[in-house]
Amino acid sequence: MDFTLKIWRQASAQDKGQFVNYKVAEISDEASFLEMLDVLNEELVVNGDDPVVFDHDCREGICGACSLYINGRPHGPDRGITTCQMHMRNFKDGETIVIEPWRAKPFPVIKDLMVDRSAFDKIIQAGGYVSVSTGGIPDANAIPIPKRDADSAMDAAACIGCGACVAACKNASAMLFVSAKVSQLALLPQGKIEAKERVQKMVATMDALGFGNCTNTYACEAECPKEISVSHIARMNREFLSAKITAQKD
């Protein structure tokens, strides 16, 4: 299969970027999208050109690092997968493929297709954890947890923090990511001790970092590679409102 790649090239956050066209030929339809980019970079290096910078790690749909905006969609045209899980058979022979980095102010470009997603780390550092001051660790089977709550917590914990929800949202909202991290702990007994403080700190940090508001278009859910439900946003809103009301009473 042959393709024309229209790739965003940008030296740094301070430099002006532009699209550059490249040709790749004889790509197997079984090749993954990142393997196709590897082929391109090998050709560029052989020719003495600067390879295209893109983020990746596990290449198994686990880490969320392979965050690319492909033909107008985060992670490409398929659903429920990351970029590294997508194969070239999802495209037509001879097709032009447009490849961009995430477009969001809180995710500044590092170089080419790689962006700085440390804003997510700052949100987690604000409260997305259970601290040691909440007590010791009892045996897991000594804590009764309803199966529905356990399943919902596991679904929320599936979030890999790739940022597709932000890239898909017209407001660059991070509410699906934040709500998944809040729900993951809010549903479990271990997380309830710090629940009120957690949700307020994480939401405040999200706002301070410049992420936008949710407008309920459901684009985040549609493009999430782990298919995280927007129901977690509703839970986060309830947790936040409850925390605010309680704080006012105190």
DSSP strands (E only) in the chain: 3-9, 18-24, 69-70, 73-74, 96-100, 109-111, 114-115
Pairing of strands 73-74, 69-70: antiparallel
Give the separation between CA 28 and CA 182, rounded to whole angstroms. Answer: 42
Per-residue model confidence as pLDDT tens digits over 170-213: 999 999 999 999 999 999 888 888 999 999 999 999 999 999 99
Percentage, residues of the chain above pLDDT 90: 87
pTM: 0.92
Question: Which residues are bridge partners to 5 per DSSP?
Answer: 22, 97
Name the residue among 124, 212, 127, 107 with its Cα closest to residue 170. 212
Burial class of residue 146, CB neighbours in 10 A (0-12, 13-18, 19+): exposed
Hey, what are 150's tokens? Answer: 């356990």
Residue 141: CB atoms within 10 A of its CB come to: 6
pLDDT in tens, 3-47: 999 999 999 989 999 999 999 999 999 999 999 999 999 999 999
The pLDDT assigned to 223 comes to: 96
- Our CA dihedral for 220, 226, 231, 233, rounded to 10 degrees, sits at -60
For the chain, the maximum distance between any two Cα atoms, rounded to a whole number of angstroms, is 68
Give the residue-averaged pLDDT of 150-163: 95
> Taking Cα atoms as reference points, which of 230, 247, 69 lies closest to residue 162?
69
What would the pLDDT profile of 101-125 be if each residue is shown by its tens digit? 999 999 999 999 999 999 999 999 9
Could you name the CATH architecture of 3-111?
Roll (3.10)
Which homologous superfamily is 118-249 in? Alpha-helical ferredoxin (1.10.1060.10)
User: Distance (Å, rounded) from C-alpha 75 to C-alpha 69?
Assistant: 6
Q: Give me 65's structure tokens.
A: 């690092």
Spatial distance between the Cα atoms of 180 and 159, rounded to a whole number of angstroms: 7
Mean pLDDT, all residues of the chain: 94
CA distance 34 to 57: 11
> pLDDT tens digits, residue range 76-99?
999 999 999 999 999 999 999 999
Where are the domains positioned within the chain?
A: 3-111, 118-249
In this model, does residue 137 exceed pLDDT 90? no
Q: What's the distance, CA 85 to chain centroid?
A: 15
Residue 153, H or E segment: helix 147-157
CA nearest 161: which of 59, 235, 82? 82
pLDDT of residue 144: 84
Q: 42: which strand partners?
A: none
Contact predicate 155/58, CB 8 Å: no
